[in-house]
Amino acid sequence: MNREQVRARIEEIGIIPAVRVRSKEDAVFAASAVHRAGISIAEITTTFSGALDAIAELRKSVPEMIVGAGTILDKDMAKRCVQAGAQFLTSPGLVLEVVEFAKAQDVVVFPGALTPSEIIAAWKAGADFVKIFPCAPLGGDHYIQALKRPFSQVPLIASGGVNQQTARGFLLAGAAALGIGSELIPNESIYKRQEDRIRELSRRFMKILQDARKRNVVQ
């Protein structure tokens, strides 16, 4: 897939599972579980030593899945992730060298931002989306709604505090997608290999997404 196709798929799927684990095996299990549940995308955070191997293995074993890399803090890690096969890069904050690298490599990128100034800087640098992180402490869906007024053209991803109770509000407020971690992939379910639990949580979040999108269309 090219950059435009990956970007379109991310927006279409609307849920970005953040896989934050301890080993390559855990990452592959978690990402494969959400894929089999119907969410064909995963963000493999680079917070453990096997992250690059996990990205490479998933790209090979599940080629139809969108596999990206998260918690990218510098250009060197961005380069290593792209070499491993990452189809998108994301950071918890605005790291301009990562955005510039991704743009040069024609790879989807969505940096984190909190303030209007950071959103403007990220968008001007060439971000495909802007991840509002952590959005819950700043007002949750009310903050997303407030940001969408001046930034209607910027697709925002709500991340940090997204759960079954808040997901609908973020989507109705205008979020293009949701970044979800342990509320979708609980640590216990990873370590105990509870794929049924992950499948059920995936089903619930997908239902919330579908219902919210239908309501937005009606409005």
Q: Where are the domains of the chain?
A: 3-218
In this prediction, residue 216 has a pLDDT band, given cuts at 50, 70 and 90, of confident
pLDDT of 100 over the 90 cut: yes
Q: What predicted TM-score, i.e. pTM, was given to this entire model?
A: 0.95
pLDDT in tens, 117-168: 999 999 999 999 999 999 988 899 999 999 999 999 999 999 999 999 999 9
pLDDT in tens, 143-154: 999 999 999 999
Q: Say how far apart CA 188 and CA 172 lie, in whole Å.
A: 30
Identify the CATH number of the domain defined by range 3-218: 3.20.20.70
For residue 133, give every residue at least 6 positions away whose Cβ sits within 8 Å of its Cβ, in sequence order, or none.
Answer: 92, 93, 112, 113, 114, 159, 160, 179
